[in-house]
Structure 1
Amino acid sequence: MKVKYFGTDGIRGVFGDTLTDELAFKVGKALGEIVGEGKVLIGKDTRVSGDSLEAALAAGLTSMGVDVLSCGILPTPAVALLTRITRSYGVVISASHNPPEYNGIKIMKNGYKIPDEMEEEIERRMEGEFQKRYVVGKIRPFREGKDMYIGAVLEMFKDLDLSGKSVSLDLANGATTTTAKDVFEFLGAEVEVFNTSQDGLLINQGCGTTHPKFLAEEMKRGRIGFSFDGDGDRVIAVDEGRNVVNGDKIIGILAEGMMEEGRLRESVVVGTVMTNGGLEEYLGKRGIRLVRTKVGDKYVLEEMLKSGANLGGERSGHIIILDRSTTGDGLITALELMRVVERLKKNLSDLAKEIPDLPQVTRNVKRTEKTSLENGRLKELIEKHSAEGYRIVVRPSGTEPVIRITVEGKDRNRVEKIAEELSRILEG
């Protein structure tokens, strides 16, 4: 069955257009049929549409006899951890790194995002007649969830002492406004924070993981900085020289640190087709194999579970450390990176410089009814440039109505020209 609503990271769209309260209500009822008379946790980021979507989801769930525990504003990985602790389902209302007008619905069970088969089952139920239920569920606040998450993270990093360390955080006006500063301060760090608004109109606007240069230009006191995205499952770092350290470089640093500790399972790291070739080269020289998957953290996780790896992720900063968390967690990734830096007693800039970064350019082409990846000229050029040694990935985005064209190679000027050439062909 081909899904109509679910993409690579749940359901996502512009609120009031492709994502409505009516749709959320149906998702709630369909999920409620599956859950039965159990409970579902709901968390959300700061978007203004979050309250409306939560009310619709909760109405659908409770109408099917399911109790709803409302966690309030909380990062996606925090909700994932809580579903693992409570052995329950969870829903996160968030569009991650997308602009404020977008929102989304992510569904989890026991710490993991639900599989494709369950997404198909939910959509099948949404298109049919719902069962009649004579028991109505209740809604109650579950604000203690935040403290449970913070406590769990602090327990993971009880060996990390950040006393006297200065850290700058860009919270993207999103969900990590409820957790990140507290955790770093509990560990002893002196914390400088930016973008702490919860009004929902500023989430990801000129800040966060999609705009890491904001922190690089604005941080003053921090020797190291971290930019999170709207729902807290991604992080990008900034070193003491105010240089941006992307997700590929973070993965490389963590891989070496975990290898030295004897923690890197199977000597394998999982990346995607977008993972930079420079990281693959760096890992290979250290006896670490890079396995590539399709883009999307769900595919990274699937391969990690299949291969036995405990480290994987994407250049975007969505990184999974499976012996710490079952999903990408920007806060846990940031603390793990701090732990490596402290243990090796090196500057982040020195560690990042060791990992080569081949020139890589991504262009987004708006997807229309006329857009086709079967274009003969497009295929011809991809084959030609690939033979010249350039790595080319052309794929539909799973979260936005665009086609992403990524070109990677040793000559930046040539990379940019190829990306532009392919974009023009797709645009018609």
Structure 2
Amino acid sequence: MLMKNKQTAKRQLTVRFMGLFALILLLMNLIFVGISVAFVYDYVSDRSEHIFDTIENSEPSRQSWSDLVNSYVIQDEGEALQVRLSNGETYYSEDAAETFNDVSEGKTIPFLEHFVFVDDDRYYYEEKEIDDAEVSLIIDSEAIADITINLLMVNLLLNIMGLIVGAVLIYWMVGRWSQKLSKMSTELNQLDETQGYLTVPEDLQEIYQVAMAFNTLLEKQREAIKREKQFVSDASHELRTPIAAIRGHMNLIQRRSETHPEVIPQSLAFIDKESKRIELLSEQLLTLGRVENKNNLEMIDFSSLVTQEVEDLQLSSERDFILQIEPEIYFKAAKTDLQQIIQNLLENALKYAPTGEIKVSLQKNDKINLQVADQGIGIADEEKEKIFERLYRIDPSRSSEINGSGIGLSIVKALVTKYGGDIQVEDNKPKGTIFIIHFPKK
């Protein structure tokens, strides 16, 4: 019920456009009225000036006023002339006395000082001193005013018609525009979390940008859902086996500990081993779940960090490490992310290369290049891409003999991608594997 009471964008935009259109027409009409009034005023004032100029140029004498007073005006045009001499004599053009008497009782408008309104009639009144006479002139402006008013009425009618036609056209055009929004709304209701995208219109830039931004957001959301599902799947798959084994040994202790106490130490050792495996797996799965987080970025001395991680690992390992580290290479990242990359590559080399030297190099040219080379069992070409999949083991038959969860390289791949880098796997002649990571310089 709430949605039905809301106005549609189509209606709101039409009302607003029409309001703006009406405001523009109102301003134009006001300008037109002002121009029309100015035109009428200029027309009659020019006629008045012409009459006064004619009188001045003819230089009438006192004896000739009575003969010439009618010659200066056109009675059929509603013009009337009054001449008052200094001796008190007054001369009128034909039928002008009554007109002057009516005008004397009329009303004026402040900003139109020469216009006089008498009932429904409109007159132009002006007076001027010529020689020893005071000459007053009245021009009936009714005709020209009626023409102007009729033009205004026609203009008003055209404006009303324009508003009606404009409302229909605007409603139709806004309707075509809003159809795209309605289509987007329909598509949004039909989308699910796994497939489908909004149609991206090419003709409207703003709607195009909104659709593209939403599709990008939708893609990120689906990737996040996919990672979450993968996380749940990986966790349930990997945790099921050790948990079942731990429960089996617990049942074994409960059933046979009294009659066969020798099973207790063996079972407790197995439980301890599997619990550590669960702990490691949980930490790595959580690391994968947080890999998109880009908080706490800082400029890291990558050279010193690689050197420190190798030296720390060498304390607990009897293996030989060869370092080729270019000094003072800096990279903007979270320190824990770079530590995860280095530690997982080194631990992978130790697990799958039980003998031989491990060579670690860090160089900078157009990119920052990190390499870890071992002399282990190597990786077949068809498996070089698969090793970055979660829980993948090169040799499943030996997976139980090699410590680890199968997630380390997945973490490396995800973290390298997070910082815009790429990772390659190459053969190390005569045997072994080289992991090569390229980071963009920052």
**Higher helix residue share:** 2
Q: Which has the higher contact order (CA 8 A, sep 6+)?
A: 1
> How high is the TM-score relative to the length of structure 1?
0.18
Going by fraction, where is strand more abundant, 1 or 2? 1
Q: TM-score, normalised by structure 2?
A: 0.18
